[in-house]
Amino acid sequence: MVQQAALLILEPIFESDFLDSSYGFRPKRDAHDALAEIRGHLGNGYQAVYDADLKSYFDTIEHRKLLACVRYRIADRSVVKLIRLWLEAKVVEPGEGGPGRKNRCGTPQGGVITPLTQRKLLVQGQNMAHGNFLCLGVHDHFLHQQADDLSSFS
C-alpha cells in the first residue's frame, strides 16, 4: 500500500519528463497504442526501422544513477530514501532460504513502483538516443519505447 501511495504522488511528476513516443508501463498507454502509431509511420512512407532491445536492462540498473535521476525531480530526502530502501530490499532466491541478500543493482520485480523507477532512467537514454539522431543529421525520425525495447523510424 505504501508503494501505491508513493506511485500516486510521484507518477504525475515523472510523467511530464517522458516523451510522447514512450509507451511502456504508462497510464492510458499500451503496446496497442504504440503499434497504431508505428502503423501510421509506415503508412506515411517511413521505411528505415532500427530496433534495439536493452539486454538485462532491469536487472542491471545502477541504483546510484537511478537515484540521481529521482533526486533531480524529488527534493524530499525521505521519499528518495524510501525509494532507495525499496531498491535495496533483500532478495531471497528459490532454494536459497536464509535471510536473503541485499539487492545491489537492478530493480525489484513485481513491485508496484518498479515500472515507474525503471521508466525514470529509461527516459534519460531515450533523450540521449534522440539527441544522437539529431547529431547524425537525421531530423525526420520517430523514436518509440516500450519497456526496454526501442524502435526508430526514418
| pLDDT tens readout for residues 120-145 | 666 655 555 555 444 444 445 555 56
Rounded distance between C-alpha atoms, residue 53 and residue 122, angstroms: 12
DSSP count for the chain of H helices, then E strands: 6, 3
Give one DSSP letter per residue of 49-116, joined into a string: EEEEE-TTHHHH-BHHHHHHHHHHH---HHHHHHHHHHHT--B--TTT-TT-B---BS--TT-TTHHH
pLDDT at residue 29 above 80?
Answer: yes
Rounded distance between C-alpha atoms, residue 83 and residue 120, angstroms: 12
Q: Is the pTM of this model over 0.85?
A: no
Taking all residues of the chain, what is their mean pLDDT, rounded to a whole number?
A: 75
Bridge partner list, 49: 153
54-106 tens-digit pLDDT = 677 777 778 888 888 888 889 999 999 998 988 888 777 777 777 777 777 87
Rounded distance between C-alpha atoms, residue 59 and residue 121, angstroms: 13
Sheet holding 49-53, edge to edge: 49-53, 149-153, 142-146
